[in-house]
Amino acid sequence: MTHLFLSKNAAALKKLITQRTLFAFDLDGTLAPIVADPAHAGIPKTTLTLLCKLSTHTPVAVISGRSLRDLKHRTSGNFAHLVGNHGIEGIAEFRTQSIEARGTCKKWAQALRRNGEGLDAGVVVEDKLYSLSLHYRMARDRARARKKLIDLADNFEPQPRIVPGKCVLNLVPQNMPHKGTALVALMKQLRVKQALFIGDDQTDEDVFGMISPRGLKIMTVRVGKKTRSKAQFYIRSQGDVERLLRAINEGWADELSLL
C-alpha cells in the first residue's frame, strides 16, 4: 500500500485520465465525512460540485452499503450510476439474487424483534431491504452492545455474512453480489476497461481484494492507511478525497487542452 500522492504514482493517476474510466466511490467515510448519527451524513457541496464536473468527462458511480433510496436522496439525484446494499441493489442483472436477499432479511428482522429484548436502547436497527445495518455508535456500552448483536446474528437462519464497519455490523445474505462484483458489472455495462475505486471500510475490501477479470484494470484506493488492507494505494484522510478529485479534474482539463 503506497501513498497515492507520491510523485512515483503520478503516472498511474495520469493513466486514469487518458482514457474513459469509471470513477467509483463509497459514500460514508469516503465522499461523506463520518458523523455521529449516520442519518445526518452528507456529501459536502464542494465535493458534489467536483463529482458533477468529473461526470461530464467520464462515468461516475457511488457504491455504498446504504439503500438505493437513501443514496438517491444523499447524492441529490446527481448520478446515474448508484449501487446500494453493498452491491446487491441497483444492478439489473442481480435482480434474482436481490429478491432472495429480501426474503432472507425479512426473516432476520423478525428474529431481531423476537429475540432482541435486552439490547442496548442506543442500538439502531436499519432494515435496508436487502441487508440489515445494526448501528451501535449511540449505545451506552459499545463493546457490550456489539458482542450481544454478534451473538444474536450468529444464530440467525440462514446465517448472515457479518461485515463490520465503523460502529455498525452489516448483516448481508451469503453468496450474494458484493461491491467488487457490482463494480465489474458496471464496467461491463458501461464498456469501460479501467476503473478507480475509493473506499474506507471493511466492506470495501471486497473490491480491494478482488483479482481484476481479464482485460479490466481496477485501481484501488483506501481512505486511511491500514497495513492489512488489500488496496493498492491510500490517501491520508477523507478530506483528501477533494484534493484527488481536484487533481483529476485539472488533469482532464489539461488533457483536453492538448487535444
Site of interaction with Mg ion (CB under 5 A): 26, 28-29, 200-201
165 DSSP β-pair partners: 168
Tell me the CB-side half-sphere exposure of residue 118, using CA atoms within 13 A.
Answer: 9
Rounded-to-integer distance, Cα 145 and Cα 150, Å: 9
Q: In the bound complex, what is the minimum distance in angstroms from residue 146's beta carbon to Mg ion?
A: 18
In terms of CB distance, is 70 or 201 closer to Mg ion? 201
Q: In the bound complex, what is the minimum distance in angstroms from residue 174's beta carbon to Mg ion?
A: 21
In terms of CB distance, is 152 or 231 closer to Mg ion? 231
Q: What is the DSSP letter of 159?
A: P
Cβ(27)–Cβ(71) under 8 Å?
yes
For 77-114, letters b (16+ CB in 10 Å) and e give eebebbbbbbbbbbbeebeebbeebbebbeebbeebee
In terms of CB distance, is 87 or 148 closer to Mg ion? 87
Q: In the bound complex, what is the minimum distance in angstroms from residue 34's beta carbon to Mg ion?
A: 8
Residue 199: which of 39, 5, 1, 27 has the closest Cα?
27
Cβ(238)–Cβ(166) under 8 Å?
no
The x, y and z cell numbers of residue 55, run together, are 461526470
Q: In the bound complex, what is the minimum distance in angstroms from residue 33's beta carbon to Mg ion?
A: 11
Q: Where are the alpha helices (DSSP H) in 76-204?
A: 95-115, 142-154, 179-190
Phi, psi of 171 (to 5 degrees): -100, 110
In terms of CB distance, is 67 or 156 closer to Mg ion? 67
In terms of CB distance, is 201 or 206 closer to Mg ion? 201
In terms of CB distance, is 123 or 207 closer to Mg ion? 207
Q: In the bound complex, what is the minimum distance in angstroms from residue 202's beta carbon to Mg ion?
A: 9
Angle between helices 142-154 and 95-115 (to 10 degrees): 120
Q: In the bound complex, what is the minimum distance in angstroms from residue 24's beta carbon to Mg ion?
A: 13
Q: In the bound complex, what is the minimum distance in angstroms from residue 61's beta carbon to Mg ion?
A: 14
In terms of CB distance, is 66 or 148 closer to Mg ion? 66
In the bound state, the residue with its beta carbon closest to Mg ion is 29
